[in-house]
Amino acid sequence: MRDPLLLTIDLGTSGPKVALFSTQGALLAGANESVRLIFQPDGGVEQAPDDWWTAICAATRRVLAAVEGAPNRVVGVGVTTHWSGTVALGADGEPLMNAIIWMDARGTRHIRKLTGGFPSFAGYGARKLWTWIRKTGGIPGHSGKDSVSHILFLRKERPDIYKCAVKFLEPKDYINYRLTGRIASTGEAMTLHWVTDNRAINHIRYDEELLQMAGLDRAQLPDDLLRSIDVLGEVSPAAAADLGLGGQRVQVVGGAPDLHTAAVGSGAVTDYKAHCYLGTSSWLSCHVPFKKTDIIHNMASLPSALPGRYLLINEHEIAGAALNFVRDRFFWGEDVLMSNPPPADSYARLEAAAAATAPGSNRVIFTPWLNGERSPVDDHTLRGGWHNLSLRTTRGDLVRSVYEGVAFNTRWLLVYVEKFIGRQLDNVRLVGGGARANLWCQIHADVLQRPVVQVADPLHINTRGAAFLAAVGLGYLHVDELEALTPTAHIYEPQPHLASLYSELFEQFVELYNKTHGIYHRLNHAQKSEH
């Protein structure tokens, strides 16, 4: 057999990316497919698990066709997916309904009641807060978007589904189940159920007290908690046929959610080496050697995909999705006002328009909180928009302000990340689809006032992370080798002459939150339908 290959599956919110890597982490081919979002009343957002599998199989067949002999050369599979989702599995092994995904906020009212109590701190009962943080490192977010909130929503509002559910699976674990027929999870993936004791990082386990506090039934959760690098099983003959693989034995490694594989795929595997992911959502993260929680700003060091390590976890609800929103709602679209679908080069046009406008967007500020926010504030009622528009405002100003607004949001998070780790970040590795935009990399460097390292092939950062985990699990690589094997494209240095401008605008960005979040709460707290 020619050199063995690793197949990696990255199920993102917009659909899966599938890639082939060498066992040394070199990207050989990639393909992607789209999956629809299904919006439900009252903040519900779902996807169909069958759509996931259909899209994964289509992308896999395309990528296998791109490399000579690939169907018979694949020896391992690594999976990563969006995190904090719930697939309710019935007794026949089939989903009982659409998957509830990370954007779904229907569990808000139930999780607030569950976590409340007297005396109260930040809306949490003090005893519950202490128990959860001491054992897990965090506590269910009030946004209602954690996995535990999804299950509570089903128990309270869809009892027919809840009673018939044999297992509730994270999206990653459902894909692994489709691949192998085995139901299991990994320690870091189960974190947002808030029922695992994470104090002994090498011995993560379910905790009876936490299960009782969360109101979850242990029998409905995966029995086995593995490490991300542990071999889960072999691809079943049925799954191999769907994917177009040959008849050889192909091992599936546990894998990890996208936040965790992005950290690994960025090459930032050493403590305090930071990466910023710019995808549909975004985060600013690094590995740390300690367990710690900042409950006020909704961030904590939680189990990493790397064995024996913690990863600083936080998240922005919206990043690249803001650019998609502006593109599809204001510049191209299909309605009575226009009949212009986005052209193939729409992102290049938007970047060119932004580049033609002076830094600062003529003091137009865009706040990207289009689906609420998680960090450094946890508020699902928050909303975004343009501010300081005038009759002189141009379309270029509007577009550039979106790029800058996402970067201001990252800087807002940076303030609390550096407080959390007790040091200034040396640089930030930029990954994800947004990192393809050279202008956005430079804007981040200027807004953050930190060097930005543009990682090569940023769209495949999660597939690379999944490949690295598979390569480590199957014995081809060691964790210490991963940084050197991660290719970089360019380093963007901050421009000193823009520091004062962006600092001033950033102060007003935060002030906009301070002055408007109460308004958004009153407008959206009792909202019955979101689209």
Both 187 and 96 in one domain: the answer is: yes
Q: Is 372 a residue whose pLDDT tops 50? A: yes
Give 305: exposed, middle or buried? Use CB within 10 Å, 0-12, 13-18, 19+: buried
Both 340 and 235 in one domain: the answer is: no
* Apex 141 CA angle, 140 and 147, nearest 5: 60
E-strand stretches of 341-495: 365-367, 385-387, 428-431, 452-455, 488-492
DSSP string, 311-340: EEE--BS-SHHHHHHHIIIIISEESSS-EE
In a domain, residue 368? The reply is yes
Both 29 and 157 in one domain: the answer is: yes
Q: What letter represents residue 219's amino acid? A: A
Both 219 and 126 in one domain: the answer is: yes
Q: Structurally, how many domains does the chain consist of?
A: 2
Both 121 and 213 in one domain: the answer is: yes
Both 34 and 152 in one domain: the answer is: yes
Domain-terminating residue out of 407, 431, 461: 407
pLDDT tens per residue, range 242-270: 999 999 999 999 999 999 999 999 999 99
Residue that is written with structure tokens 């949490």 in the block: 124
Q: Please, what is the average pLDDT of the chain?
A: 95
Distances (CA, A) of 345 to 331, 349, 410: 13, 6, 26
Domain-terminating residue out of 373, 407, 441: 407
In a domain, residue 268? The reply is no
Tell which wins on pLDDT, 448 or 247: 448
pLDDT tens per residue, range 305-326: 999 999 999 999 999 999 999 9
Tell me the CATH number at 44.
Answer: 3.30.420.40
In a domain, residue 74? The reply is yes
Tell which wins on pLDDT, 340 or 355: 355
Q: What is the pLDDT of residue 380?
A: 86
For 203, phi then psi, to 5°, come to -145, 60
Q: What is the pLDDT of residue 528?
A: 42
Both 113 and 172 in one domain: the answer is: yes
In a domain, residue 96? The reply is yes
Q: Please state the pTM of the whole predicted model.
A: 0.90
Q: Residue 445: which pLDDT band, with cuts at 50, 70 and 90?
A: very high
Q: Is 387 a residue whose pLDDT tops 80? A: yes
Q: Residue 338: which pLDDT band, with cuts at 50, 70 and 90?
A: confident
Both 134 and 256 in one domain: the answer is: yes
Q: Is 514 a residue whose pLDDT tops 90? A: yes
Residues of the chain above pLDDT 70, percent: 99
Both 340 and 378 in one domain: the answer is: yes
Distances (CA, A) of 348 to 93, 437, 450: 44, 8, 25
Domain-terminating residue out of 407, 423, 457: 407
Q: What is the pLDDT of residue 527?
A: 56
Both 157 and 240 in one domain: the answer is: yes
pLDDT tens per residue, range 200-235: 999 999 999 999 999 999 999 999 999 999 999 999
Q: Is 531 a residue whose pLDDT tops 80? A: no
Give the structural domain span for 33: 5-263
In a domain, residue 391? The reply is yes
In a domain, residue 242? The reply is yes
In a domain, residue 443? The reply is no
In a domain, residue 398? The reply is yes
Q: What is the pLDDT of residue 1?
A: 54
Both 249 and 100 in one domain: the answer is: yes
Both 241 and 194 in one domain: the answer is: yes
Q: Is 529 a residue whose pLDDT tops 80? A: no
Instruction: Confirm if 95 and 89 have CB atoms less than 8 A apart.
Output: yes
